[in-house]
Amino acid sequence: MIKLTIKDLRLFFKDKRSMLLSFALPIALITLFALAFGGAGQGKKDTKISMQVSDLDQTPSSASAMQVLDSLKNVELLKVPLEKAQENIKKGDQACVLIIHKGFSDSLTAGKELPLELQYDEAQEIQVGLLQQSLIPTIAMLPFNIGNPKAVMRNRFDKMVPGASDTVKQNIQHKSDGLFDAITMGEMQSDGNDNAGAGLFGGDIKMTKLVAAEKDNSLGLVQAVAGTAVMMLLFSVVGIGAGILDEKQEGTLKRLLYTPMNPIKILFGKMISANVISIFQLVVMFLFASLVFGLDIYSHLSGLIITIVATAFACSAFGVFLASFAKSRQQVQGLSTLIILVMSAIGGSMMPIFFMPAFMQKIAVISVNFWSIQSFYDIFWRNLPITSGTFLSRILVLLLIGTILNSLAVVLFRKNILKLS
Amino acid sequence: MIAIKDLKKSYNSHEALKGISFNIKEGEFYGLLGPNGAGKTTTISIMSSILTPDSGEVLINGNNIYTHPNESKRIIGVVPQEIALYNELTAEENLWFWGGLYDVPKTELKKRIDEVLTLFGLSERRKDKVSTYSGGMKRRINIAAALLHQPRIVFMDEPTVGIDPQSRNLIFEVIEKLHSNGMTIVYTTHYMEEAERFCDRIGIIDNGQIIAEGTLDELRKSSSAKETIVITFNNLNDDKVQKIQSFWKDCNHTDDKIYFYTSDLKTELSKIISQCSDAGADIHNIEIKKVNLETVFLSLTGKQLRD
């Protein structure tokens, strides 16, 4: 029995594929998910949520406000001109922009409501929600930190008790100023992030949906369908692509080469079948989501068809490329499991990318999943028309990925697969 | 019909073919005989244009197969050594697929599929998946798939490896029928019985070289192979063996048998029997082994054909 155990252990440790799947893959995934969920390097800049700010007031007060916002631990402030910021949101590159409108300084001095507006993409409401939690207390405390809190108090009391006599108002004002002086003395030691005064001063920000979400489709549903569909499609197209290696192993490839057919047509045939199956698979998945979960696909049919075709093209090219690159089906399976899980994790198949740290969001662009899922967001959530530059640019990237991978597959097919010796 | 000129092919440092040349006439059945690893499959792969030689030339019907691959491929059918079929497709679906790659018109292809299925005795199983077939049945479909475009030349690379006697006999009958219909056949095998049965001419290949070529009779005559007389004795002892070996040097002794080698059986047989009697040995049985491809090959290479 011990001999059998030792033999099995020897076989296991000699099998590189088993080693890869047992150790390297889980370690890689743990690392990846730790990075994705912000578990690594806590407190570093990369774990912050990014927020654009456009300062239209351009006064020392607005600059001070920016400084206060910039000191927030979990927010990365990006100072961007308004037009550019709005463009970034429409493209889906950023979730929101905080606009400091003209008159901010005057309002601050006069203790009036601050002209602040948060324009955002409803598709990224979770990220915006997280930002609000940090922003509201800080903005509420802006008059306290950089403005005229007594004037704010005065205005608030005027609003709260509009029918009060001047004597009553003066009395309240006097007590309030005294109370405020006492608070100021104590709060001067605070870091400014404390929300003690939030309820008193308010923290109102005008919220404006720059990109409205399609009401019929929930974000979670779009994420679940698109994310899962793309990830599973990648797994299945790799299987189709690996068919080339099966043909080589079983001798049918050699037999195909005996015929008058141009050898490269063998690869093209595989590419076309992979595309057709991919399109079919995506259609079935979205029909299922429509029938069972009520995903509204019919209002977005043209966009859906375009995205499905582009996704199928890029994913099938990935499958054929990987098969042409590898030497055996076993190698394809090992490689594909690793690559697809990594791409799915960073590309947003497993969770929305806005949950991830900024640097992970930046590297998401290297995955097919990212471009495809964002395209599905564009049509089902951001409700972009198919003529939208943002949507078309993503489709173009998918087609480009497909073209590059297919071209590489042709080169590798000639070099690796057709080499029969 | 086929001219092979000085083919050379190396895989890294291993020389698989060291300059092979031979010619095959139209309608001829040519056998390439050699042990595993001798270079048979490499030669067939080059002749089928799926492998490029390092040097040399292959002319099929006057066309260089590398400058005119399609002309050559259309008149060649190749039966690969492995069963190169799609297991999850039925026999009929496989035949439709493989025949379709040669642009055979649909109605004509349907007729030919019916013909080959009948020829190979598989009409009743035509709708069954190949994965459900026995090894012999798969071999039959493997050959049938190479005949659908009615090639003038067929390369058969060890087409009967690992099959049952019933399938083997059926395949032999089909091969003989194809040959009698005028098809040029190049047949590689390491089964000497098959080569002896079918081949008009045989090329013996070993270590990437044709070491002998000709008809079976020509090969027998050209080799130094001798016929063997095997005599089994009753009560054979060392003394009798010594006496026998003293008059017949070219012999071997094992247990109760002595193997006598001779190049002139008719003259020498009676002389050997007479001298064995003179030595006092009691003959129990006499067996004569004539020169065959196996012995020819052994005399040429010093190796058994199935090594």
Domains and CATH numbers, chain B: 2-221 (3.40.50.300), 226-290 (3.30.70.260)
Q: How many CB pairs under 8 A join A and B?
A: 45
Average pLDDT of span A189-212:
54
Average pLDDT of span A156-185:
66
| Structure confidence by residue, pLDDT tens digits, A300-332 | 899 999 999 999 999 999 998 988 888 777 788
Q: Read off the CATH number of the domain in which A204 is found.
A: 3.40.1710
CA distance A116 to A186: 28
Reported confidence tier of residue B4, pLDDT bands at 50, 70, 90 = very high
Radius of gyration of chain A (CA): 29
| Structure confidence by residue, pLDDT tens digits, A364-387 | 899 999 999 999 988 887 788 899
Is residue A71 less than 8 Å (CB to CB) from chain B?
A: no
The amino acid at B167:
S
A235, part of any domain = yes
Nearest CA in chain B to A420: B51
Predicted pLDDT at A47: 58
Residue A284 C-alpha, separation from nearest chain B C-alpha, in angstroms: 24
| Structure confidence by residue, pLDDT tens digits, B238-290 | 888 888 888 888 888 888 888 888 888 888 888 888 888 888 888 999 988 88
A27 by DSSP, 3-state: which?
A: helix
Instruction: For residues A91 and A228, state if they share a domain.
Output: no
Structural domain including A104 reads 45-211
Is residue A421 less than 8 Å (CB to CB) from chain B?
A: yes
Is residue B78 less than 8 Å (CB to CB) from chain A?
A: yes
Nearest CA in chain A to B9: A421
Predicted pLDDT at A141: 77
Q: Locate A314 and state its tokens.
A: 């890029």
Residue A335 in contact with residue A310, Cβ under 8 Å? no
Q: Burial code of B263-293, b = ≥16 C-beta within 10 A, e = fewer?
A: eebeebbeebeeebeebebeeeeeeeeebbb
Which of B50, B82, B98 comes nearest A257 by C-beta? B50
A33, part of any domain = no
Instruction: For residues A172 and A52, state if they share a domain.
Output: yes
A34, part of any domain = no
Residue B164 is given by DSSP the state -
Chain B positions touching A262 (Cβ under 8 A) are: none
Chain B positions touching A255 (Cβ under 8 A) are: 78, 80, 84, 98, 145
Using alpha carbons only, what angle is made at residue B168 by residues B164 and B172, rounded to the nearest 5 degrees?
A: 175
Interchain contact, A258 vs B82, CB within 8 Å: no
The angle, 0 to 180 degrees and rounded to 10, between the axes of the packed helices A219-241 and A329-347 is 160
Predicted pLDDT at A43: 45
Write out residues 250-279 of A within 8 Å (CB-CB) of B: 250-252, 254-261
Chain B positions touching A260 (Cβ under 8 A) are: 69-70, 73-74, 101-103
Instruction: For residues A234 and A139, state if they share a domain.
Output: no
CA distance B307 to B296: 15
Q: In what order do the strands lie in the sheet with B29-33?
A: B76-79, B153-157, B184-189, B29-33, B201-206, B209-214
Instruction: For residues A336 and A387, state if they share a domain.
Output: yes
Which of A250, A260, A420 comes nearest B50 by C-beta? A420
A138, part of any domain = yes
Instruction: For residues A191 and A323, state if they share a domain.
Output: no
Instruction: For residues A304 and A176, state if they share a domain.
Output: no
A197 by DSSP, 3-state: which?
A: coil
CA distance A82 to A92: 15
Chain A positions touching B142 (Cβ under 8 A) are: none
Cite the beta strand spans of chain B per DSSP E: 2-11, 14-24, 29-33, 55-60, 63-64, 76-79, 153-157, 184-189, 201-206, 209-214, 227-234, 251-254, 257-262, 282-289
Instruction: For residues A125 and A273, state if they share a domain.
Output: no
Average pLDDT of span B68-82:
88
Residue A234 C-alpha, separation from nearest chain B C-alpha, in angstroms: 24
Instruction: For residues A204 and A226, state if they share a domain.
Output: no
Residue B304 C-alpha, separation from nearest chain A C-alpha, in angstroms: 27
Residue B272 is given by DSSP the state H
Cα A406 off chain centre by = 27
Cα A351 off chain centre by = 8
Instruction: For residues A239 and A191, state if they share a domain.
Output: no
Instruction: For residues A174 and A264, state if they share a domain.
Output: no
A175, part of any domain = yes
Share of chain A above pLDDT 70, in %: 73
End residue of a domain, out of A158, A177, A211: A211
Residue B200 in contact with residue B29, Cβ under 8 Å? yes
End residue of a domain, out of A211, A244, A262: A211
The amino acid at A36:
A
Residue B69 C-alpha, separation from nearest chain A C-alpha, in angstroms: 7
Residue A383 C-alpha, separation from nearest chain B C-alpha, in angstroms: 45
Tell me the C-alpha to C-alpha distance, in Å, between residue A409 and each of A33, A287, A412. Answer: 30, 31, 5
Share of chain B above pLDDT 70, in %: 98
Instruction: Please state which of the ranges A192-201, B34-43, B210-219, B272-281 shows the lowest mean pLDDT.
Output: A192-201
Chain A positions touching B84 (Cβ under 8 A) are: 250-252, 254-255
A23, part of any domain = no
Predicted pLDDT at A42: 47
Q: Which of A180, A189, A170 shows the shortest CA–CA distance to A148? A: A180
